[in-house]
Structure 1
Amino acid sequence: MHTTSLTWRPLTHDDAQAAADLLNAMETVDRIGENYTAQDTLQELVDPYADLARASLAVFDGDVMVGYMKIRYKRFAEEVHRVFLDGGVHPGHRRRGIGTVLVEAGVAAANTLHALHHPRLRLAIDVHKAGHIAGLAELLAPRGFAPVRHFQHLEHPLGAALPEPVIPGGLRIERWSEDNDEDFRVTRNKAYADSWGSAPSPVDNWKNKIANHTLRPEASFLLRDAADGTAVGVLVANHWEADAAVTGVRDVHFMVVGTIPAYRNRGAAGALIGHALRAAAEHGFDRASVNADSASPAGASGIFTEAGFTSKRRYVRWALEA
């Protein structure tokens, strides 16, 4: 390994611009459709469930960040505590052993956080990456990681005429606002309770990951039971300006889409998706996108395919399970 001339230390909040530069350099080769500003990476660095001091590592060649890893743990977990190991290496520094050091440091850090937060549960360390990224299997498989789930990234162009969405009888729809934000979060937690690998989203996590500077209120909707006002379905849309600046395409990403179990199979999810597509088009977005679990018991991929989405990329969830 040629790592002796490099500087290794934990990530800090001051690394936002360096991290954005690294991720944007990775995008030029990996082509996963993700571009970053310093504000975007700062949002990840201030994540309340990213313990940077104990569970992150950044690699510098002079002032340039050339690699990183960070662990994200969960506040709530049952039976299995699934933590996320995220990271990457600058294209110009790959195949030099940096990725190996980062993965091994990530596994050690995951065990540290697991012992602190959920020591009585089983630990699973997840890595979520696009399936086409070169060298990923060679890096992860020898260290005990195995593919456990596949996801699809689907897209829907918004230039063509979109049908008028039909709201199922007995339901009403409303846009996101500060006043109903908590209803969005609670409904998301109920809708995702039976989703693989999911855990309830606490308020601080919701504010950091969902209701942040990328949220698009004009394309985010809540369905309620018209009789008693119960929130029964939710769709949250987000948008990253950095992507539009690089690609020229204004993409609205459906970050959260779900219906509580008692209201499934009534057309609620389709109504939310149709409403959000129309709203996004009316507000000048060129495309909608979503990530869906290929094996979702709710048939997520089918719902989006029926709405006109087509699959563009495959993601693999790798896991090291104790």
Structure 2
Amino acid sequence: MGTDVPFDRRPIGAEQFDAWLELLAAVEAEDREDEHHGVDDLREYLADPYCDFARGSVAFYDGPTMIGYGYLKSRTEADPVHEMYYLGGVHPAYRGRGVGAALLAWAEEAALPLHLERYPERPLTLYSSSLARNAPASELYAAQGYTAARWFHGMTRDLLAPLPDLPAPDGIEVRGFTAERSEDARLVRNEAFRDHWGSTEQSEEGWAHMTSGPAFRPGLSFVAYDVAEDAVGGEALGIVLGEEYEAHTEATGRRDLYVSLVGTRRAGRKRGIASALLVQAMAEAREAGFATASLGVDADSPTGALGLYGHVGFTVKDTWIAQLKPLWSPAAG
């Protein structure tokens, strides 16, 4: 059906938050992704330095009802390819009417000029995702030329269940996340994820946006330092960052610690640092009244993250498929 659907369309702005939240709630009620949103979350999306909502977003309307949305997010690097994110959704009552295909067609058209402004000498690929148990979504991506490229698990843990006794190894000191330690944490993150599929460097601007957002919880975030030879300073080797989404708490009645990042530098791997960081974050969260913890992980993580999370009590709840479509290359013009 392409882009020829009989609905009004316009870029997404703050004045549309109520309509957007209604659409997101309808999608969650149908798809059960355990994703809940509030105004603060939408405001943070609009403030993302790698999004351009004026040119890189669209909402489809049937009268006053937002029935589909999509937006694009650039990456911090394009080495060797710029994998630009596409995020979107369609109201369940309007599925099967060409809206999803029209949104993906819009994304292809809108992505190229945004890409050329940042990385004119690099190829462009669109990167989206679908829930593995949502067969119609995966079929839509396949019909539009996307290829299933990677699988990611959403994992969860009951914080009321006993936590393992996994203290920091000798010579490692776990310190709370502070503004003064933020740059140490960013550098750990960049080195830790350098060998992960699809990962790019986290810029200072992007890091500041993430660690100043309404969901970030510095009190549930920690940095591990090697103090074996330097008890005062030490080299930062590992991080764990915690977040809490208030809209999720309001919708479910339970507080969930979302572990947005866990990582160790190469010099800190296989020493129990990540396990100790996770357990400390979960212990602090449980003490603060959190009922569960959750996180996402590459099913084929090169660092064995899936086994690590299983070891500390996480289990797989859902699986997501990374969907990729090469869109443009300098050679093709």
Which TM-score applies when normalising by structure 1? 0.95
Deviation at 1:134, TM superposition (A): 4.3
* Residue 260 (str. 1) matches residue 265 (str. 2): yes
Q: Deviations over 1:168-210 (max 9, x none)?
A: 1111001112232222222211211111111111122123334
Distance 1:115 1:205, change over 3 A: same
Whichever residue aligns with residue 142 of structure 1, its letter is A
Counterpart secondary structure, 2:179:
coil
Whichever residue aligns with residue 136 of structure 2, its letter is G
In the alignment of these two chains, the number of paired residues is 321
1:269 is matched with 274
Q: Deviations over 1:137-170 (max 9, x none)?
A: 2211121101000001111101123233311111
Q: Which runs of 4+ in 1 moved over 3 A?
A: none
1:93 is matched with 94
* Residue 239 (str. 1) matches residue 239 (str. 2): no
Counterpart secondary structure, 2:170:
coil
**Distance in 2 of aligned mates of 1:112 and 1:297:** 34
**Distance in 1 of aligned mates of 2:121 and 2:225:** 38
Moved more, 196-205 or 161-170: 161-170
1:30 is matched with 31
Gaps of at least 5 residues in structure 2 are 328-333
Deviation at 1:71, TM superposition (A): 0.7
Whichever residue aligns with residue 314 of structure 2, its letter is F
2:108 is matched with 107
Moved more, 287-296 or 67-76: 67-76
**Distance in 1 of aligned mates of 2:209 and 2:27:** 24
Counterpart secondary structure, 1:58:
strand
**Distance in 2 of aligned mates of 1:242 and 1:254:** 16
**Distance in 2 of aligned mates of 1:7 and 1:22:** 15
1:293 is matched with 298
Mapped contact 1:17–1:37 kept (Cα < 8 A): no
Counterpart secondary structure, 1:217:
strand
Whichever residue aligns with residue 145 of structure 2, its letter is G
2:54 is matched with 53
**Distance in 1 of aligned mates of 2:134 and 2:97:** 17
- Matched ranges for 1:185-200 at <5 A: 185-200=186-201
Q: Deviations over 1:259-316 (max 9, x none)?
A: 0112111111111111111111111100011100001100111110011111110111
Distance 1:171 1:299, change over 3 A: same
Mapped contact 2:131–2:137 kept (Cα < 8 A): no
Q: CA RMSD in A?
A: 1.5
Counterpart secondary structure, 2:12:
coil
Counterpart secondary structure, 1:206:
helix
Deviation at 1:82, TM superposition (A): 0.9
Deviation at 1:211, TM superposition (A): 3.6
1:318 to 310, 315, 323: 323
Whichever residue aligns with residue 28 of structure 2, its letter is E
Gaps of at least 5 residues in structure 1 are none
Counterpart secondary structure, 1:252:
strand
**Distance in 2 of aligned mates of 1:210 and 1:83:** 22
Mapped contact 1:235–1:256 kept (Cα < 8 A): yes
Moved more, 86-95 or 119-128: 119-128
Mapped contact 2:210–2:216 kept (Cα < 8 A): no
Whichever residue aligns with residue 66 of structure 2, its letter is M
- Matched ranges for 1:143-292 at <5 A: 143-226=144-227, 227-228=229-230, 229-292=234-297
**Distance in 2 of aligned mates of 1:20 and 1:189:** 33
**Distance in 2 of aligned mates of 1:54 and 1:305:** 42
Which TM-score applies when normalising by structure 2? 0.92
